[in-house]
Amino acid sequence: MKKKGLFLDRDGVINRERGAHTVRLADFEVLPDVPQAIAAAVRAGWVVVVITNQSGIDLGLYDRAEVERMHRYLGDMLRDQDTAVADVLYCPHHPSVGKCLCRKPGSLLLERAMARHGMDPASSLMIGDRDRDVEAATRAGVRGILVAPNASLLETLRTHGLIP
């Protein structure tokens, strides 16, 4: 039986959208209700995966090691709340450097996550704060939900009936 996937954009959904690249761990501010929201989603049977564009790598603003530090920090914070995301997938490319299939609105990262975790696209959805997040979801056969940057993830999950 295929699982239902909950894809979350990172900047603006999980951590505060600052209007600029999140370059350092010191700038990576996880939004207040994110651990509680992810824990509730996992309890409700969702496989939670973070899908994020990190073009600052291609632009030379930061490196993969810094992105991995941020993701380890998020993982540690979630573990402290007795929860976790199943995966974090990111695209390091910037369109000025070349085209790729993994950068949203491309759907490759969602497709990769669905294959890796046995997810059913028809039962899955993506929450993002940009049109490209919803477009990537649509291309992957997944429902997309557009939210305002830095919106409450917990409230979004409740409003859409994804958690009790």
Contacts (Cβ under 8 Å, ≥6 apart) of 43: 163
- Side-chain-side CA neighbours of 28 within 13 Å: the count stands at 16
pTM of the model: 0.97
pLDDT tens-digit map of 105-142: 999 999 999 999 999 999 999 999 999 999 999 999 99
Report all structural domains of the chain as residue ranges with CATH numbers, in order of start.
Answer: 19-146+154-159 (3.40.50.1000)
| Mean pLDDT (whole number) for 64-76 | 98
The alpha carbons of the chain give a radius of gyration, in whole angstroms, of 15
| pLDDT tier for residue 1 given thresholds of 50, 70 and 90 | confident
pLDDT tens-digit map of 71-96: 999 999 999 999 999 999 999 999 99
Instruction: Decide if 160 contacts 8 (C-beta within 8 A).
Output: no
Neighbours of 75 (CB within 10 A): 13
Per-residue pLDDT at 4: 98
The catalytic site residues sit at 9, 11
